[in-house]
Amino acid sequence: PPRPPPPPGPSGRRSGRLAPRQQRAGDAYRDRYVVDVPRDVARTSVDPDHVLDVAATFGRDARLVVEIGSGQGEAVVAAAEREPGTDFLAVEVYAPGLAQTVLRASQRDLTNVRLVQANAAEVLATTLPAGSVDELWVFFPDPWHKSRHHKRRLVTPSFAALAERVLRAPGEGDDGRPGGTLRLATDWAEYAEQMLEVLDAAPGLRNVHGPGNAAPRFEGRVLTGFERKGEAAGRVITDLEYVRV
């Protein structure tokens, strides 16, 4: 049966304990950084009738970057600090990660970061307006490396369709802007192959570097502790880059 949702954002735990600094940051800055969304039946679900007013959320009209699975917030906070003219929306389900992202953003007094605690598929399917995203980031999603768990992976044909939905379409006529960009990174070679197979087959996406080819390392992605661990374990990092067509 439906359960009442927890308080959204860092103060409402999804799993794990919050460190004292995280809890204090969540309590002090939740209203500034965390977007309250109406819930459906699950703790991290979003009412399918809810559509995010992006301009009202950030208080301006600007280029929008969305990171799915923002983790501890290292990438999104560093990018927001580097690009104050761009707005960044971080999507994450786990409260400790959200709280750490709020802590990082508040320490830098950033005004162009917002967070939402919600399931990625729902955010892409209904919460974000169609064609509203300039860049969509998916960095190091869980590889679910055991064969029996592959069905849990994020990057599937249905994900590709959702990415197409939210990415900005290419401009026409005098506009002529390219479509929105989908950027991915993984340290799991077999998952990288699956990503290429799925996304190269998506009718609304084009591999910037040609079918079957990886991209150079995205310069806008900071080197995180997670990536360092992958490299230390001997895993090769694969970046992918697609544009909406």
**Weakest-pLDDT range from 25-29, 30-34, 201-205:** 25-29
Residue of 61, 109, 134, 142 with catalytic role:
142
Quick one: tokens of 4?
Answer: 């009442």
Which residue would you say has higher pLDDT here, 225 or 141? 141
Mark 143-155 as b/e (b = at least 16 C-beta within 10 Å).
beeeeeeeeebbb
Highest mean pLDDT among 9-13, 40-44, 62-66: 62-66
What pLDDT sits at residue 8? 36
What pLDDT sits at residue 172? 63
Segment 142-149 mean pLDDT: 90
Segment 167-191 mean pLDDT: 89
pLDDT digits (tens, 9 = 90+) for 69-117: 999 999 999 999 999 999 999 999 999 999 999 999 999 999 999 999 9
What pLDDT sits at residue 229? 86
Is residue 36 within 8 Å of 114, Cβ to Cβ?
no
What pLDDT sits at residue 17? 72
What pLDDT sits at residue 10? 35
What span, in angstroms and rounded, lies between the C-alpha atoms of 245 and 234? 35
What pLDDT sits at residue 92? 96
In the three-class reduction of DSSP (H, G, I as helix; E, B as strand; rest coil), residue 34 is classed as: strand
Catalytic-residue membership of 40: no
What pLDDT sits at residue 22? 66
